[in-house]
Structure 1
Amino acid sequence: MKVMKFGGSSIGSAQNILKVKDIIAAEKGALVIVISAFGGITDKLLTTSELAASGNINYAALFAEITETHTTIIEDLHLTKDKKAELSGKINVLIEELSNIFKGVFLINDLSLRTADKIASYGERMSTLIMSYVLDEFDTFDAIQLIKTDSAFGKHTPDIELSSSLIKNAYAASSGKVVVSGFISACKTHGEITNLGRGGSDYTAAIFASALDADVLEIWTDVDGFMSADPKVISGAYVIEHLTFTEATELCNFGAKVIYPPTIFPVYHKNIPIRIKNSFKPELPGTYISNDIVTSRRKALIKGISSIEDSCLLTIQGLGMVGIIGVNYRIFKALADNGISVFLVSQASSENSTSIGVRTADAQLAVDVIEHEFQNEIILGSINRVQLERDMATVAIVGENMKYTPGIAGKLFETLGKSGISVVACAQGASEVNISFVIRRKYLRKALNSIHDSFFLSEFKVLNLFIVGTGIIGKHLIQQIRMQQPKLQEQYALKLNVVGISNSRKALLTRDGIDLEKYEELLDKQGIASSPSILQDKILDMNIFNAVFVDCTASEPIASLYGQMLANNVSVVTANKIAASSAYDSYLKLKNTARERNIKFLFETNVGAGLPIINTMNSLINSGDKIVKIEAVLSGTLNFIFNTISPDIPFSKAIKMAKDAGFAEPDPRIDLSGMDVVRKLVILSREAGYKVEQKDVEVNLFIPQKYFDGTPDEFWNTIHEMDEQFEQRRKKLEAEGKHLRFVAKYEDGLCNVGLQEVDMRHPFYELEGSNNIIQITTERYNEYPMIIKGYGAGASVTAAGVFSDIISIANVR
């Protein structure tokens, strides 16, 4: 036989009730149907009670809504006119009883627990009465006569043995098909109406299933089953196909609201499986709960993540606790005597402190009763006042596969650490099915997403990108990301989620990701006013996991944000040379912050655009090699200019061509001054392991200072004066078989940049167009130095280099 429970959302309208009738009609054999109150009715009953008790006449309007819900459902049901009239009469009797109770509560402004329990029972009593007319071939049981409870601390605990006996006897005399109200019960000693707590209809169904040795207990609700995490927080959460009773219990205890936690206990001991089904999608398999351990098709180390958002942490601490027997007994007895439930306990091995997790609603009472229990020790100073930490959240990772699997806790804490989340307290049972920990509530969303991603519960590994700068490099990068997104998801299970795009005027930020095909339109129409400070605040307030700040600007104010980004566990990828070439102490602080936070500060494109120069140098050094000399042509702009000069193209025209081709800055004097190369040489020297400042670099100008002193217009009007000088030099070098190269060099602690004449035997001689080249001499690569050569300028290759740095953060192979 089968027990089927239908929740309030499943029967919240006449249309839904008819769907449930079809589900039940498809079943063969003996059935027990357990019914909850219609969706939202129990909440309205409780609210109406509170309003009436406070003397608020508005209770009557809310009561009218309750009445209308039931009368509307009856009117919309496919019943005969006579049946509707008969049913309406019976419902009106209950409505009248309830109305009189509310009037009494309103008049005396008092609501006893006994009265509150009776009021709450009317939701199930009315819904079950209506369902008995829909399922007219079913017998109807009164749960008040069958589920008997004991009471303590305002809570009602069912007497399973007595209730089971009553259920068996009643069922033996039935037709084998029964409909019964959930939630409701009665005190076994005094007979007044009680209930099994919010969600108690599940518990009713479990008690019936256990008493009747059912083949299966089905819980029909409005969700597809147990989810790997809260789908409201994690878009990639999925239905868990199978759970053990232990896994389901752990998930329920830590916030998964799919079924009422006590439900599992009665059926667990009879090994009666539970299936969670969605009444709106009955074709879906749902979640199956049994004693069997089934390996998931997903290669995940854990089954699911659950959390309790409204948590508080109490810490009892003092040297007077060390070695004293019975301290914890006194703590938990004091809490139990006052009906306070503890869901987490963490104790230091030195025994000088014990931390406990409780619901926020119980927190202050818990503090009061513990301090009362230890008032003498607190006066003597052997135990401190209870420390109460509010605004906490408790998270649990659950899974039978965690047993005897080394490294689970290490992976968990590493994941949290990478996201900048500190664990305040943690606990793990000897069964190894659950690791629970307490964090600040503001980090809950970030923690859940990070864990879901790290433990392979997510279909994709996600990187959340904030792209700053929509100029030529930024545009190319966004286009490249858009084109590669499908391939990265399909081949590498990597999802690049662009959650922010900003230019100098506006910023567009959204957790759900930006449609990159429409980003310009969205930025223009939906973007907020932006500035470096606003951008920083918005990004950090999002507190998003696996976040990467991508700088495609040349802005000093934007570069100044890196420190805060890294300090808040946001990785930084930048094409902006300012930070890495700034004061050495600032550069080193950024590097160290990234290292300490176990995140990334990547700036490969600061030198050589998309060429793998910095990564190669880092690999050499990390393998134990030492870089002793660096020689490089690092300006694609200058190399283009000196390669372009010819009898037909003078120096000034070559500069203009470099600008038009996008190689040179809008003001080409930035390139001609050599300062761009100075910054690159400083960065390379630092990455080689040397402490170098920009002022340490000797700069040999190849055009007089006067061309740098005026305005850009003055520069363009006068630079042709240098054409003849460079033409004469070109002719001389052509005759000697030499070329001009602007070379950056580090050796023996000395740095310099300037023009150099190279002959055909030199590796820099054949360098074409805007290409860059670097020759690295190390202790290993000494006689034959390492050479890296290729495109060193251009928005497309620079964007590709930035993209490569982004991908490296995800460790995609």
Structure 2
Amino acid sequence: MQIEVKQQFSPAAQVHKFGGSSLASAQRFAAVADILQQQNPQQALWVVVSAPGDTTDALLAIIAAAENIAVRDAALNALQVQLTAIVQQTLAAEAAAIVSGQLRQWLAAVPDALVQQQLNDVLAIGERLSALLLSELLKQRGLNAVAVDARDFLRLKQHQPDWTASAALLAEQTQPDCIHVVTGYIARDDKGHSITLGRNGSDYSATLLGALVQAAEVTIWTDVKAIYSADPRKVASAVPYSQVSWQQACQLAQLGNPVLHARTLAPLTGTNTVLQVRSSYEPAQGGCCVVQPGLTEPGAAQQGFITELNDVTLLTLHQDTAITAARLALELQQPVIELSQQGDNLCWLLPAACAEQALAWLAELNVHAVWDTQRYYAVAWLKADQTQQAAVADQLLQQHAVLHRYENARQLIWLLGAPLPVAVLQQLHQQLILPTPALQLVVAGAGNVGAEFLSMLVTQQQRFAAKLKLNLAAVLNSRRAVLADNIAVTDWQTALAAGDSWHAEQLTAYLQALPAPKVLVDITPSSDFARLYPAFIAAGCDIISANKQGVTLPGAEYQQIMQALVQHQRQWLSNTTCGAGIPVQRTLQELLSAGDQIAEVSGIFSGTLSWLLCQYDGSKPFSDFVLDAQQAGLTEPDPRDDLSGKDVQRKLLVLARELGVTLELDDIKLQPLLPEGLEQGSWQDFWAQRDILDTELAAVFAATKAQGGVLRYVAVLSLQHGKVRASVSLQQVSQDHALAAIAPCDNVFVIRSGWYNANPLVLKGPGAGRVVTAGGLHADLAVLINQLIGKAAMPASLT
């Protein structure tokens, strides 16, 4: 569509439409104003508004009661009270008085309008109030705004927009550097009479306006955050799509989809305008983009949809008629679906309530149509792939009395005598849509290990792409966060550098809004962050943790996390909190689940101390080796956390709790490698006193070497004879001991059990380093991914 009028509108104009649910209260008006204030001030802003809440329904009831004066007046009074309350709660007193006065005038004129049959003027009151109220609220916030009655510029002729007249009139209404708040749903015909654009006509108003101002974007703000693969109120597994093709959007609109309406797309077809559907209740979500032909992003395939039509009927016409289904839909302002050609006849599906009107209109044009008078419930499947077969779905629907079936390459429609049970609709969705599951990934901690984890994520995304989408939905550190849908993994550093500061409530709310499934990967060293796990779990997140602080919190706090996991049926995978990439916890879990009994777990649990004691040969001070390890990224952020032995102590507590043993950190006997007092103060303070450590270690090393042994830092958890003993200490072991023959950085876990007693089970490998730790995190992530893939592949009857 091209408008043959030279215009002065900004090529970067935006149009934002807000429906009645987005404007149902003073709080919602404020939320809409917040959204508008966040838009790019360099772009011209046009806003289209519906009537507040259920105002249009109330006005229709008043029209229906026109002959009953008492009922009519009572309804008018009730509506005035309701709307006045919204005005007074939205605006400061002076502005509220002005708007309330205007509202009283409009409502006072209703009885005369009803007498004169000016019904569309009555129905326009809701939109006029929304436009006036929102423009005054924006002014109150210091913005230049004006209310515009769409009837002052929008002209339709025989249900079609008069582009030339509308563009010329709109140019007269346009003010420079101003937010124009325009009434939706209403317009005038070519004779100047007020008309309405049908149910949900405000969306149509928005796209008409978008075409007139040649908008770069039109955003339909509603109460859902996307266009779903099915009704999410009935189908819990409905997929919110971030992108839908224009052709499929037109199909959905034709089928009466509640988000996209039959006439909405027409004004923008063939333009460069981007159409967005977003939720005014969740403005942080990216919503869904309806993509024009030729503008589809790479990898954006056709989507699958299941949608329902209630109370529809069939018309049959001879195929040589000049009237099309689209022409009848325009006249009825209702969807009319051309199902198929059967012999010499056409078969159209339309709302049963419109059948008599359709027959009368067709009769005036000397077109004969047959109405079978049967009222149907319809289920429509829009195919993602033209080769998709419906055999399984047909079999599923056999027992539900399918009366008619119509199929072409793009869609299949079943007509039934009664609505499907929700459980069957869910099964149908499972069989036909077969969505590729998407896992929302939130990464907390972007240091050495975090950066390595994100670097590996690119490969993992490619590896699982055919079966699951790994979507990076947030990256944060202690200072800032980027909370955004589908962050490019290759550009996360840039995104994080441009991120904002964050707080716990904001992060939790964002996690709550993310679609499931979702997982938070904690690569921080923070106990405060770990204390937020119950809130994250309640928001629907599984947890993967390399942060030992969570697993070693005081018992009461640890139990809160465990209770939250049970309550919300979430998982907490923390295999990298002990042993980095070595699967020691997973091995213990498997032994216990198989019926074995663990008697003792011992070994070298610190890759850092393993490296230090393997490398230390007395050739230079021990602290120099510590500095080497720190620079190689082998230590905790403060290496004294390793030297204190507390890191090993925490890891032993991790394993104890993995085995169901009730222990606190202080129950584990600790002999630190760090001399007493050096844990105080800053790292610089320690470095000034490092000779104390160097002297003590040199003496112990010399004595051990003289006896032919080696130094190892050893943890022991004994569960024998009903007693629990736990200790961490520096020990001298002989050269032929199992803990002597290790490589620098190795962890060694020695497991004695009922099955592995005389010959214990030994796990050995690198226990420190960003690569092995990041790899261990990805191993935990793979567990969740494979569970999701398995669940997606499971027959619907078993899920």
Q: TM-score range by the shorter chain?
A: 0.5 to 0.7
* Distance in 1, Cα, partners of 2:728 & 2:311: 84
1:807 match: 782
Q: Is 2:688 the counterpart of 1:557?
A: no
Corresponding position of 1:521 = 494
User: Quick one: which amino acid aligns to residue 436 of structure 2?
Assistant: F
Distance 1:502 1:720, change over 3 A: same
Whole-Å Cα distance in 1 between the matches of residues 412 and 748 of structure 2?
Answer: 62
Distance in 2 (alpha carbons) for counterparts of 1:614 and 1:157: 59
Q: Which residue of 1 aligns with 2:754?
A: 779
Conserved 8 A contact 1:241-1:287 = no
Structure 2 residue runs of 5 or longer lacking an equivalent are 5-49, 51-58, 61-117, 129-147, 166-187, 197-261, 267-309, 351-378, 791-799
Quickly say closer, same or farther: Cα 1:793–1:156, change in 2 above 3 A.
Answer: closer
Q: Does 1:535 align with 2:507?
A: yes
The 1:455–1:500 alpha-carbon spacing in structure 2 relative to 1, beyond 3 Å, is farther
Give 1:734 shift: 2.4
Q: CA deviation at 1:14?
A: 11
Deviation at 1:663, TM superposition (A): 1.4
Aligned residue identity for 2:152? A
Aligned match of 2:766: 791
The residue number in structure 2 matching 1:50 is: 120
Could you say what secondary structure the match of 2:550 adopts? coil
Residue identity matched to 1:587? Y
Q: Is the 8 A contact 2:675 2:692 kept in 1?
A: no
Query: What is the match of residue 467 of structure 1?
Result: 443
Residue 632 (structure 1) shift: 1.7
Deviations 1:561-587 (A, max 9, x none): 111111232100011011111122322
Post-superposition Cα deviations, 1:176-200, rounded to whole Å, max 9, x if no partner, equal 7321255899xxxxxxxx9996535
Give the whole-Å Cα distance in 2 for the aligned partners of 1:721 and 1:683: 31
Query: Post-superposition shift, 1:668?
Result: 1.9
**Alignment CA distance shift 1:245-1:634 (3 Å):** closer
CA 1:240–1:563: 2 relative to 1, 3 Å: farther
Structure 1 residues 247 and 557: alpha-carbon distance in aligned structure 2, compared to 1, 3 A threshold: farther
Q: Which residue of 1 aligns with 2:694?
A: 723
Unmatched tracts of structure 1, length 5 or more: 1-11, 16-42, 75-96, 106-122, 128-154, 186-193, 220-224, 230-236, 254-264, 276-284, 293-341, 345-397, 399-426, 437-450
Q: Which residue of 2 aligns with 1:102?
A: 193
Measured in 1, the distance between the counterparts of 2:568 and 2:755 equals 32
**Matched residue SS, 1:730:** helix
Matches of residues 10-409 of structure 1 in structure 2 within 5 Å?
A: 50-51=120-121, 58=149, 60-61=151-152, 64-66=155-157, 69=160, 102=193, 177-180=320-323, 182=325, 198-202=333-337, 214=345, 241=388, 273-275=406-408, 285-289=409-413
Residues 222-245 of structure 1, C-alpha deviations (whole Å, 9 max, x = no match): xxx96669xxxxxxx667845589
Q: Percent of aligned pairs with the same residue? A: 23
Say whether 1:685 aligns with 2:755: no
CA spacing shift, 1:181–1:775, aligned 2, 3 Å: closer
Give the conservation status (yes or no) of the 8 Å contact 1:608–1:634. yes
Pick from 440, 445, 462 the counterpart of residue 486 of structure 1: 462
Amino acid across the alignment from 2:456: Q
1:249: Cα distance to partner?
A: 13
Deviation at 1:468, TM superposition (A): 0.7
Instruction: Go from structure 1 to structure 2 and tell me whether the alpha carbon gap of 1:726 and 1:688 turns closer, same or farther (over 3 Å shift).
Output: same
Of 466, 484, 501, the residue aligned with 2:475 is: 501
In structure 2, relative to structure 1, the CA distance for the partners of 1:560 and 1:217 (3 Å cut) is same
Inter-partner Cα distance in structure 2 for 1:274 and 1:754: 74
AA aligned to 1:733 is: T
Q: Is the 8 A contact 1:532 1:557 kept in 2?
A: no
Q: Deviations over 1:400-447 (max 9, x none)?
A: xxxxxxxxxxxxxxxxxxxxxxxxxxx45xxx84359xxxxxxxxxxx
Secondary structure of residue in 2 paired with 1:434? helix
Query: Is the 2:750–2:760 Cα contact (8 Å) retained in structure 1?
Result: yes
Contact 1:679–1:694 (CA under 8 A) maintained in structure 2: yes
What's the counterpart of residue 546 of structure 1?
A: 517
Question: Is the CA contact 1:245–1:291 (under 8 Å) kept in the aligned structure 2?
Answer: no
For 2:470 and 2:334, how far apart are their aligned partners in 1?
A: 40
Map Cα deviations across residues 26-74 of structure 1 (whole Å, 9 max, x no partner): xxxxxxxxxxxxxxxxx9xx99962376588957535624479556699
Residues 685, 692 of structure 1: 8 Å contact kept: yes
> Separation in 2 of the partners of 1:606 and 1:244?
49
In structure 2, C-alpha distance between the alignment counterparts of 1:522 and 1:238, rounded to whole Å: 35
CA distance in 2 between partners of 1:645 and 1:764 (Å): 16
Using the TM superposition, give the Cα deviation of residue 665 of structure 1 relative to its aligned residue in structure 2, in angstroms: 2.7
Residue 739 of structure 2 aligns to a residue in which SS? Answer: coil
Contact 1:465 1:500 in 2 (8 A): yes
**1:760–1:58 Cα change, 3 Å:** closer
Q: With structure 1 as the length reference, what TM-score do the two structures score?
A: 0.53
SS at 2:510 equivalent: helix
Cα distance change of structure 1 residues 60 and 581 upon mapping to structure 2, 3 Å threshold: closer
Matched, 1:737 2:708: yes
Partner SS for 1:514:
coil
Cα distance in 1 between the residues matched to 2:509 and 2:591: 38
Which of 570, 583, 590 in structure 1 is aligned with 2:554?
A: 583
Are 1:477 and 2:453 matched, yes or no?
yes
Q: What amino acid maps onto 2:437 in structure 1? A: K
Larger of the two Rg values belongs to structure = 1
Aligned AA (1:638):
L
SS at match of 2:469: strand
Distance 2:610 2:195 in 1: 93
CA distance in 1 between partners of 2:503 and 2:194 (Å): 59
Instruction: Provide the C-alpha distance between the structure 2 equivalents of 1:523 and 1:744, rounded to a whole number of angstroms.
Output: 39
In structure 2, what residue type is equivalent to 1:509? L
Query: 551, 555, 574: which one pairs with 2:545?
Result: 574
The number of aligned residues is 493
Among 434, 438, 442, the residue aligned to 2:425: 434
1:654 to 613, 616, 625: 625
- Which secondary structure state, in structure 2, belongs to the residue aligned with residue 708 of structure 1? coil
1:642 & 1:666 partners in 2: Cα distance?
A: 19
Distance 2:192 2:688 in 1: 95
Partner of 2:490: helix, strand, or coil? Answer: coil
What SS does the aligned partner of 2:446 have? coil
Hey, what's the Cα distance between the residues in 1 that align with 2:312 and 2:425?
26
The Cα of 1:547 is off from its aligned counterpart by 0.4
Rounded Cα–Cα distance in structure 2 between residues aligned with 1:179 and 1:663: 79
Are the counterparts in 2 of residues 227 and 239 from structure 1 also a CA contact under 8 Å?
no
Separation in 2, partners of 1:103, 1:793: 75
3-state SS of the aligned residue for 1:615? helix
Against the structure 1 CA distance between its residues 195 and 666, is the aligned structure 2 distance closer, same or farther, given a 3 Å change threshold? Answer: closer
Q: Which residue of 2 aligns with 1:40?
A: none
Q: TM-score, normalised by structure 2?
A: 0.54
CA distance in 1: counterparts of 2:311 and 2:758, whole angstroms: 86
Cα deviations across residues 568-613 of structure 1 (Å, max 9, x unaligned)? 3210001101111112232233234324433210110110111101
Contact preservation (8 Å) 2:453, 2:777: yes
